[in-house]
Amino acid sequence: MTITIKNAEEIEKMRAAGRAAASLLEMIGSHIKPGVTTNALDEICAQYTLETLGATSAPLNYHGFPKSICTSVNHVVCHGIPDDKPLKSGDVINIDVTPLKAGYHGDSSCMFIVGEGSIQARRLSRVAYESMVRGIRMVRAGARLGDVGHAIQTYAEQHDYAIVREYCGHGIGVGFHEDPQVLHYGSPGTGTLLQSGMTITIEPMLNVGSRHVKVLGDGWTVVTKDRSLSAQWEHTVLVTDEGFEVLTLRNGESI
């Protein structure tokens, strides 16, 4: 396993990429409403990334992925491909963005509820977010990734949600997906030792029903096998001697 430890110059570039990802998600929120298509959201994000952020969209053509963002609606767990189906009131959607700025990746995702949304959808989204937060708060030099995964898993399961195990967070930097893998379940005191200067994503996926998932015929779209709702949040996090720095923190957000 090769884990990259970022120096001060590289960390500044990661901060810039993280700010770009945060800005992109802040921007797109006002466009999410009944009747809009995920293709339209993709086009808005692609244009904003290029023209406003001075970056490119890392997902586009990554191993053949055809769009600039991932849009995962309702029972889609991750890697949903934007299309021409309009969103309707009550839908829940995860938007996952990764701008590539000055050679470095900023990776983040948000849940959005179209219109009012159900009590179940709002609760799932909230618990998924809080699970991520509890994982992030375990990050510090000297901790282990099992500490992060255990905090996420414990909180999610206390609220009767299942953690998807087939997909995980990852190291990030010049590479979109670097070592180590960041599991969202585990045992305290196990796993990779965190070191100051590491940058990782923490991005738990929670399902209302079973944890089991399957990949559709397009080779990308991951859905819950039982078609239950799924929710995911993601931040890019820098490991520091004192703890952590969330590089993709949005305006008004505090962790």
User: What DSSP letter does each residue of 221-237 carry, written as one string?
Assistant: -EEETT---EEE-BEEE
Provide DSSP, 147-181: HHHHHHHHHHHHTT-EEP-S--EEE-SSSSSEEEE
Provide DSSP, 177-195: SEEEEE-SS--TT-SPBP-
pLDDT at 1: 55
**Quick check: 2 pLDDT over 70?**
yes
Report all structural domains of the chain as residue ranges with CATH numbers, in order of start. Answer: 8-246 (3.90.230.10)
Looking at every residue in the chain, the average pLDDT score rounds to: 97
- For 176-230, the pLDDT digits (tens) are 999 999 999 999 999 999 999 999 999 999 999 999 999 999 999 999 999 999 9
Share of the chain above pLDDT 70, in %: 100
Closest CA to 157 of 149, 147, 168, 167: 149
Q: Where are the alpha helices (DSSP H) in the chain?
A: 8-28, 38-51, 119-136, 145-158
Sorting pLDDT into bands at 50, 70 and 90, what band is 49?
A: very high
